[in-house]
């Protein structure tokens, strides 16, 4: 069995790859990691979303930055590598409220999570695991081989590792 390669995804970026690969993104505050996987063909993708939609930023070339364009990009990428949309499943993490503020309209994290869920539903992609909200930053590792999503939460000097399967 070949060893999995770790692929690092930066803020506002995305990647699609075939098994064996572990997709990693760090520093999810209000951002959301969307992990999609074709469980039959073992092709997956991860996007590190910063904002819910791109409508006011049509000239922005960083399509992974937005939920609407980023999720579409990884769906298209999985299909381009031989994946099938009907076998896609999703796992999501992030969307924390990083700043204490009485004005809930500034909670970008919850808006990101809401946008991600809406777009996945529109594409008939079921969310099978999520770790969203709260007020702590996260980092994730998504294993395309078995679909395992490791979520590491950091905050207040404590570190918790959660494996969502």
Q: Tell me what pLDDT residue 67 has.
A: 97
Question: Which pLDDT score, from 0 to 100, does residue 153 have?
Answer: 86
Helix/strand/coil percentages in the chain, nearest 5:
25, 40, 35
Under 8 Å between Cβ of 37 and 89: yes
Note the pLDDT of residue 107.
Answer: 86
The confidence score (pLDDT) of residue 157 equals 39
Q: Please count the CA atoms within 13 angstroms of the CA of 96 that sit on its side-chain side.
A: 16
This prediction's pTM:
0.90
Cα torsion for 145, 147, 148, 152, to the nearest 10°?
A: 110
What pLDDT score was predicted for residue 58? 64
Q: Quick check: bond before 20 cis, omega within 30?
A: yes
Q: Is 71 helix (H, G, I), strand (E, B) or coil?
A: helix
The confidence score (pLDDT) of residue 165 equals: 47
In the structure, how many helices (H) and strands (E) does the chain have? Answer: 2, 10
Contact (CB, 8 A) for 123 and 71: yes
**Catalytic positions, please?**
31
Q: How many residues does the chain have?
A: 165
Between the alpha carbon of residue 8 and those of residues 3, 79, 132, 165, the distances in Å are 16, 21, 21, 21
Cα separation, 31 vs 123, whole angstroms: 21
All structural domains of the chain, each given as residue ranges with its CATH number in brackets, are 5-164 (3.30.1330.200)
Dist. CA 65–CA 53, nearest whole Å? 9
| Averaged pLDDT, groups of 10, the chain, 165 residues long | 82 96 95 97 97 78 93 98 97 88 72 97 96 92 94 63 52
Which residues, in sequence order, are bridge partners of residue 86?
none
Closest CA to 71 of 90, 101, 47: 47
């Amino acid at each position: 069995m070949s060893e999995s390669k770790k692929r690092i995804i930066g803020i506002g970026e995305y990647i699609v790859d075939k098994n064996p690969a572990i997709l990693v993104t760090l520093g999810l505050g209000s951002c959301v990691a969307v992990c999609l996987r074709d469980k039959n063909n073992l092709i997956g993708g991860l996007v590190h979303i910063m904002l819910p939609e791109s409508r006011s930023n049509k000239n922005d070339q960083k399509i992974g930055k937005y939920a609407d364009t980023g999720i579409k990009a990884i769906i298209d990428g999985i299909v381009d590598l031989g994946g099938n949309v009907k076998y896609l499943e999703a796992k999501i993490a992030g969307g924390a409220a990083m700043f204490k503020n009485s004005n809930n309209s500034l909670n970008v994290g919850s808006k990101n999570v809401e946008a991600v869920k809406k777009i996945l539903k529109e594409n008939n992609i079921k969310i099978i695991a999520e770790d969203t909200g709260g007020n702590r930053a996260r980092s994730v590792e998504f294993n395309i081989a078995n679909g395992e999503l490791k979520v590491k939460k950091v905050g207040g000097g404590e570190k918790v590792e959660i494996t969502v399967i």
